[in-house]
Chain A
């Protein structure tokens, strides 16, 4: 375990469902991130939170809705997804927003939209 925990590990959902992905870190980090990893593409940054405040939304469709209630928890709420949203969703954290000490990633949630 890296210190960043993601649940669930696997998720299958229909296009009309609503589900949430959860990320938790107890490393004392102040920045948290959501990334999407699709086959044969580089990791794509989705959202950045620094000290619980969203600082970046990388042109992500509104069917993805992040929530950061505190500096240790990050959620990604999903609704009316499309099959092309099927991917590995990775959460990461860093000690400071500048990433001076690198980034720690969770194991990811494998999402399949049917």
Chain B
């Protein structure tokens, strides 16, 4: 059974710092991996989707990498801003008609 772990559970950084959020999964035979952002009490906003054949995806200040063999993905945020404060969720989908499996998220606070 696929399990997704995100470390750390919470992170507080000063504005302007570059940071890395980690996601690990137990079964490396994934179909794709998606990073989401969730603001308090709100729904999820999709940030980046990485297919199993890809190594990374970039969008603005965000870069997500995927290493299937080691069962890891990282979300790199450059030059962090207070507006980046949110919970970041990692979710994987396995091969076959299987649903997304989510981690518990990393709660990020960027201090001005």
Q: How far is the CA of A110 from the CA of B104 in the complex (A)?
A: 18
Residue of A at shortest CB range from B3? A42
Which of A14-22, A60-68, A70-78, A97-105 lies at the interface? A97-105
- Which of B59-67, B75-83, B95-103 contacts the other chain? B95-103
Tell yes or no: B19 within 8 A of A by CB: no
Tier of interface size on chain B:
20 to 34
Cβ A102 vs Cβ B43 within 8 A: no
Q: Is B28 an interface residue (CB 8 A)?
A: no
Q: Does B89 contact A (CB under 8 A)?
A: yes
| Contact indicator A103/B100 (Cβ below 8 Å) | yes
Question: Interface digits, A2-18 against B, CB 8 Å rule (1 contact, 0 not)?
Answer: 10101000000000000
CB distance B43 to A105 under 8 Å?
A: yes
Q: At the interface, yes or no: A82 with Cβ under 8 Å from chain B?
A: no
Highest count of chain B CB atoms <10 Å: which of A4, A99, A104? A99
A27 at the interface (CB under 8 A from B): no
- Check A108 against B42 for contact (C-beta < 8 Å): yes
| B interface residues, Cβ below 8 angstroms from A | 4, 31-32, 34, 36, 41-46, 49, 51, 89, 91, 93, 97, 99-105
Given contacts A2-B45, A45-B100, A99-B93, 14 further A-B contacts (CB under 8 A): A6-B43, A40-B104, A42-B4, A42-B104, A58-B99, A90-B43, A92-B44, A98-B97, A99-B32, A100-B32, A103-B46, A105-B44, A105-B46, A108-B43
